[in-house]
Structure 1
Amino acid sequence: MSLSRARAARYGVDSVIGDTKGDGMADGPVLAQLHFGREDAERDVTDGLLLRGGFLPNAAYRGALSGRKMLIIGRKGSGKSAVCMQLMADGGRTHHGGKVLVTPDEAAGEEIRRFELQGLPGDSAKALIWRYVFAVHAARHLVTHAKDAHAKRPDSVKSLGRFLKQNGEAPGSGSRLVERLAQGARALQTSLSLEAFGVKASMDLAQSPSEGARAARQLEVVEQGVARAFTDLGCDGAVHPPLLLMVDQLEQVWSAEPDSNAMVIGLLLAAKHAASLYGRSVRFLLFLRADIYDSLSFGEGDKFHGDELRIAWTEQALRDLALTRARASVGEELTEEQLWKELFPQTVAGEETASYLFRRCLPRPRDAIQFLNACQEKAWLEHERDRITEADVEQAGRQFSEWKLKDLTSEYLVAHPFLRNLFPLFQNSGYVVTRAALTRRFEAAAETLHHDFPAYADTLTLSGVIDVLYGVGFLGVRRGNDVVFAGDDALPVQPHETEFHVHPCFRAALGAGSAFDLRRFEPQLVDPRVSSGNYSPGAAGSSSLNRDDRLLMQLTRSCHSILSQVERAVALTRDVRDEITLQFNRVLDDVSRIPPGAAASAGVDVDDYLLTTAHYFTGLSTQLLAGGLDETSGVGPVAHRIEEEARRLRRQAGGSYGSSGDSAGA
């Protein structure tokens, strides 16, 4: 049943949404209601679809619930915060224990970055302040939880209550995270009030050899008090799920500076320590952006691999997400076929629509949501259509590509501030670029890049630029018959790899619509007699016509000979093969328009036509050889065959009548 008929059957109105307002009135066409949600999880919770059936559980969500993974790692827009928001807002449906979310703002981040302790390296000092944050949040939870869930307050919980009150951390105090951090930092650098645990700092901790050692000893007292309270209440994950303590949005306070890296390393060390100390009573989840996590280098980094879960999205997963969110907006009865064949066109540029869309997105929900919403807005808001057309998708695609090129610059502005200045190397050229071609382009721009970004001179080398562009997802590398992008393969670009592809997401914005920067064949037949059919077959005499026909047949054979060579070049990138094939098919189409036996009367000088086409062939051959494609790709034989056929055509056009030209090689 079509979507329109399904709507009519359900609501009695053709192609409308039902009574969503409860007033018995239909709201309008299905496309008007179609929406794929907000692109950021924070707004999607309050003003979108995330909590209205628009969340698609994935491996990251299942890993977070299982307790087996502590680090949820993904690129910007990959859905880290969506998982976090879903866990916080699920009302206890999936996690029945307590939940705490820590999202430091710039002020809080500055407090952590500036925190130092004499006698400790930066990351160890920052681990202490994070451990303090975790201990305080756990203590606040326990004081409230003991009353609400256990109806008892053991002495250990009472001690925590007194500690929180004495240090200005009591539940309901209303202080912001930055204020608590500032207070905790001062206390760790001087002395915490530990009388609640029977410790007088001035006496019992006076023998600590350094500021760092004293702070660590104070913190151990607090942590032991928290652990004791968990034990006394029996909160070990058996009676009820553990406290879920999450940290998100760390990228808001991170910069590519040593103290920022130390802040993140300190967080990792603190979470690892606290998870071991509190056991099954507390579960930690840290949501980290991949570029931040991957930039860290510290001695204990290898101990975290088992805790990592990297978010990865396949095309099928994005399709599932699109359908889930479409149903959340227009109704559960929407089928996949209705979405992709009625609301969207079945194909775009000859490609199945969903594949067309998701191949042009970086593999993450935010991009997919933006592209899908842009298509809907083009059709409904701008053109008032009740279904999306192929033209709507293509127009939205150009706008989306421009957004993504700008967004890529913003995403990596801290780590790679020069990124925007590299894009001109790829503008208005083919999206397949070889190492040789990129070498020439980079050498022309290197002096300016080094002048504008002197601090990044070590990175701004050819190999450094390739590594950066591959790492951010802008370039893919050809491996065998596949083109691999970062995230598909952990292997970095290798020195012997020579062929790179601009990601489809960015091609429209760069004007890189074709695979290779080949000169386009322009049809030569502009004489109005050809297009109108106003010619006389016998006007030029049979002898001339016979020769013209032979020459045109030779041109046709030359094109087919070249196309056969292209087909045999199986190692040549498919996109490049398709681009070469396209140009020679354009030649064949142009030749087919010349009427048999009437070229002269149609105004076609066949000799000149062949010489012009041969000149085009020679230029194409030169472009292919100069493009830097690896010889193992088979481009050499293709280019040589094109040049051979160009010479053959020139000989034929300059020869006397009767030259057969039948010696064309296959």
Structure 2
Amino acid sequence: MADQPVLARLRFGREDAERDVTEGLLLRGAFLSNAAYRGALSGHKMLIIGRKGSGKSAICMRLMSDGEGGHPGGKVLVTPDEAAGEEIRRFELQGLPGDSAKALIWRYVFAVHAARYLVDHAKGAHPGCHKADSVKALGRFLKQNGEAPGGGRLVERLAQGARGLQTSLSLEAFGIKAGVELAQSPSEGARAARQLEIVEQGVAAAFGDLGCDGVVHPPFLLMVDQLEQVWSAEPDSNSMVIGLLLAAKHAAGLYGRSVRFLLFLRADIYDSLSFGEGDKFHGDELRIAWTEQALRDLALARARASVGEELTEERLWKELFPQTVAGEEITAHLFGRCLPRPRDAIQFLNLCQEKAWLDHERERITEGDVTLAGRQFSEWKLKDLTSEYLVAHPFLRQLFPLFQNTGYVVTRAALTRRFEAAVDTLHHDFPAYANALTLQGVIDVLYGVGFLGVRRGNDVVYAGDDGLAVQPHETEFQVHPCFRAALGATTAFDLRRYEPQVAGARIATGSLGPGTPGSSSLNRDDRLLMQLARSCHSILAQVGRAVGLTQDVRDELTREINRVLDEVDRIPAGAAASVGIDVDDHLLAAAHYFTTLAAQLRATGLEESTGIGDVTRRVEEEVRRLRRAAGGSYGSSGDSHGY
């Protein structure tokens, strides 16, 4: 392997943290410490919230590791599978609302894991203390209730615990005969709560007797991850998550510094919850956010871990990768086309390497490799977005045609026209979501999932950049660069491309020659071509003054007008007639193109304040001027181009 080219050995890791750990990359210096990791490690935060692929599981795996960067104390990770999730979702207790009932089953899970830890910990870290009454009581409780270490799968233990809470747990280990002493409980829920309190008090007593207060040695770390695998947008699923939050808050207060809780939740799940005590969790929240610079640092760390040498940033981005793609600096191009999360960056970078090395055995990635990888990556991400939000927004895929094969800048007016043409079909196919499938509802969903950004001032803001939702007065949106190639939306507006006239073909074949030697007077054809050039410059000047337009829109307009101007500039003076070019037809064809352009600009729906109206009027004015010129009026033109 060492004798292979660097590019052959270059990898940026796996898309999932579990395989990254298995293959060792995550533990070989490829993990990048960030605010979420530091907050989790320090115990200052309990809720780590992020989108799919944002690195939640990577933090979890890092903390679970035994080496540097891992939690130094006891730890356990709970990852419910579908069967376990179904057991929790179905759990209910007479006399308690769903959220409270689910909180009890989670508290039971936490108490059992803490009890298991204490029984084992007392033997290894506190010689002789395993004989303490409180520790022995926990051991007996676990055995009597089938919860001893090495027991069945989580779903089996959950089912057994649920039955115990709904009927009676074996509490003789704590000196309680449940059938007698709890018989007077007013409801099933009250009886279950009382049973659980006895168990939790027994766990807390053992922590106290052992002196495990998080000072002598690190606290016991209890983490819950992968909850999205068992979540659906149903009330029981929401209650399952709310119950988890309530249980963790309760247990953290009960066990104090002895136990630390970490819950890893996907942002869309957490943000969809609504419950009375939700405001009490804000101080525990930490949302994972990635900047372009952080993704660059992560990419470099992973590249170094894979190559096995001190790979410099200079070499990575200027030798192994091309320095620019389509005139854009390489890292801006790459990371600007990813949603701001590690999984996307890893996939795109690996795909670039595969296009170069696996497909062509090149030792450097070319601009073409990046372009091809970008198209495939964009298709992946559009499909992945549908899958990511399939539960919450099953109609998402049916919204994408509203943006296909058109410009990536979309105004509210243009989107209104497209949506009105599709709304009946959407309501027919998704009747349960008819209330959400309004124009504003669709905009809110597309903004929330990161598909659309909204223009604010001179910037385009995407979800995560700004906590403010799309406001009713905001009228200009952009499809995220990640999805543009897959949609065929690769230009700002779907402006008709200017196609060169006859002159272009003749110039390309070298048919045009210089004008008559010694001729200095301008003939009519030359005057018409000069008029066309002046019109182009006038329009370009107006575009330049339209500072309210986004740079992408100005660039696209400038590019098309320059195509017209470049063709004019390539015709030598006095040569048009000699090669059979009808300049009148050429001028009128350009005027017709400008007429179409003006109509397209009016149809964009951009606000007048952007300057688009002034540009449109300037184009229309130049069309009239060109048509007058072609009609023979080229004496005193009365031009007032304003540039």
TM-score, reference length from structure 2: 0.98
CA deviations 1:453-495 (Å, max 9, x no partner) are: 0100001110000000000000000001100000000000000
Going from structure 1 to structure 2, the CA distance change for 1:324 and 1:595 (only over 3 Å counts) comes to: same
Cα distance in structure 2, aligned partners of 1:399 and 1:250: 30
The residue aligned with 2:625 is: 648
1:535 and 1:374 map into 2 onto residues whose CA distance is: 46
What value does the CA root-mean-square deviation take over the aligned residues?
A: 1.6
Indicate whether 1:532 and 2:509 are aligned: yes
Deviations 1:284-334 (A, max 9, x none): 000000000000000000000000000000000000000000000002410
State the match for 2:252 in structure 1.
275
1:75 aligns with 2:51: yes
Q: Percent identity?
A: 83
The structure 1 residue matched to 2:148, chosen from 154, 164, 170, is 170
Structure 1 residues 428 and 91: CA distance shift in structure 2, 3 A:
same
Q: Which residue of 1 aligns with 2:135?
A: 157
Q: Which amino acid is 1:80 matched to?
A: K
Q: Report what 1:227 is aligned to.
A: 204
| Residue number among 374, 380, 384 corresponding to 1:403 in the alignment | 380
CA–CA distance in 2 between the matches of 1:660 and 1:546?
16
The more displaced of 451-460 and 656-665 is 656-665
- Asked if the contact 2:62/2:69 (under 8 Å) is kept, the reply is no
1:175-214 to structure 2, matched below 5 A, reads 175-214=152-191
DSSP-derived class of the 2:49 partner:
strand
Q: How has the CA–CA distance of structure 1 residues 525 and 300 changed in structure 2, closer, same or farther, with 3 Å as cutoff?
A: same
- Within the candidate set 100, 103, 110, 2:86 is matched to 110
In the alignment, residue 530 of structure 1 is paired with which amino acid?
I
- 2:453 alignment partner, SS class: strand
The one-letter code matched in structure 2 to 1:74 is G
* 1:628 is aligned to 2:605: yes
1:256 offset after TM fit, Å?
0.2
Task: Report whether the alignment pairs 1:422 with 2:399.
Answer: yes
Q: Deviation string for 1:573-622 (max 9, x for gaps)?
A: 11111111111111111111111111111332111111110111111111
State the match for 2:430 in structure 1.
453
Task: Extract unaligned runs of 5+ from structure 1.
Answer: 1-16, 19-25
The one-character-per-residue Cα deviations of 1:426-468 (angstroms, maximum 9, x if unpaired) are 0000000000000000000001111100100001110000000
Counterparts of 1:300-379 in structure 2 under 5 Å? 300-379=277-356
AA matched with 1:469: L
Equivalent residues in 2 for 1:34-53, closer than 5 Å: 34-47=10-23, 49-53=25-29
Cα distance in 2 for residues equivalent to 1:328 and 1:250:
30
Classify the secondary structure of the residue corresponding to 2:261. strand
Relative to structure 2, which stretch is displaced further, 520-529 or 302-311?
Answer: 520-529
Give the direction of change, closer, same or farther, for the CA distance of 1:196–1:93 in structure 2 (3 Å limit): same
**8 A Cα contact 1:49 1:325, kept in partner:** yes
What is the CA deviation profile of residues 604-657 of structure 1, one whole-angstrom value per residue up to 9, with x for unaligned ones?
211111111011111111111111001111110010001101111111111246
Distance in structure 2 (CA, Å) of the matches to 1:585 and 1:514 = 16
Matched with 1:472 is 449
Structure 2 counterpart of 1:7: none
- Closer/same/farther in 2, CA of residues 412 and 163 from structure 1, 3 Å limit: same
Q: Could you tell me how far apart the structure 2 residues matched to 1:657 and 1:271 are?
A: 83
After superposition, the Cα gap between the structure-2 partners of 1:274 and 1:156, relative to the gap in structure 1 and judged at 3 Å, is same
Aligned residues of 2:221 and 2:262 also touching (Cα < 8 A):
yes
Q: Residue deviations 1:4-35, cap 9 Å, x none?
A: xxxxxxxxxxxxx63xxxxxxx2x11100000
How many aligned positions are there? Answer: 641
Q: Which residue of 1 aligns with 2:8?
A: 32
- Measured after TM superposition, the shift of residue 542 of structure 1 is 6.8
Q: Structure 2 CA distance, aligned partners of 1:526 and 1:481? A: 39
CA contact (8 A) 1:38 1:48 kept: no
Decide whether the 8 Å contact of 2:453 with 2:460 is kept in 1. Answer: yes
Query: Are the aligned partners of 2:63 and 2:69 in contact in 1 as well (CA < 8 Å)?
Result: no
Structure 1 residue 115, shift from structure 2 partner:
0.1
8 Å contact 2:503–2:567 — kept in the other structure? no
Q: Tell me what 2:115 maps to.
A: 139
Change in Cα spacing, 1:626 to 1:37, as seen in structure 2 (3 Å) is: same
**Equivalences for residues 430-509 of structure 1 within 5 A:** 430-509=407-486
Q: Which moved more, 1:380-389 or 1:541-550?
A: 541-550
Check whether the contact 2:43–2:260 (CA below 8 A) recurs between aligned residues: yes
Do residues 516 (structure 1) and 493 (structure 2) align? yes
Q: Which amino acid aligns with 1:75?
A: R
Report the more deviating stretch, 72-81 or 164-173. 164-173
Instruction: Give the TM-score, by structure 1 length.
Output: 0.94
Residue from 112, 121, 130 that aligns with 2:97: 121
Q: Sort the Cα spacing of 1:143 and 1:125 in 2 relative to 1 into closer, same or farther, 3 A.
A: same
- Tell me the distance in 2 between the aligned counterparts of 1:454 and 1:563: 49
Q: Distance in 2 between matches of 1:171 and 1:636?
A: 74
Query: 1:93: how far off?
Result: 5.0
One-letter amino acid of the structure 2 residue matched with residue 555 of structure 1: L
Instruction: Tell me, in whole angstroms, the C-alpha distance in 2 between the residues paired with 1:254 and 1:172.
Output: 27
3-state SS, counterpart of residue 72 of structure 1: strand
- Listed as ranges, the gaps of 5+ residues in structure 2 are none
Structure 1's 657 and 245: CA in aligned 2 closer, same or farther, altered over 3 A? closer
Give the letter aligned to residue 240 of structure 2: M
Do the aligned partners of residues 459 and 610 (structure 1) sit closer, same or farther apart at CA in structure 2, a change above 3 Å counting?
A: same
SS across alignment from 1:229: helix
Task: Return the alpha-carbon distance in structure 1 between the equivalents of residues 583 and 552 of structure 2.
Answer: 32
Structure 2 match to 1:85: 61
Residue 372 of structure 1 aligns with an amino acid whose one-letter code is L
Residue 264 of structure 2 aligns with an amino acid whose one-letter code is F
SS at match of 1:601: helix
Native 8 Å contact 2:398 2:426 kept in 1: yes
Give the stretch that moved more between structures: 272-281 or 546-555: 546-555
Amino acid at match of 1:134: F
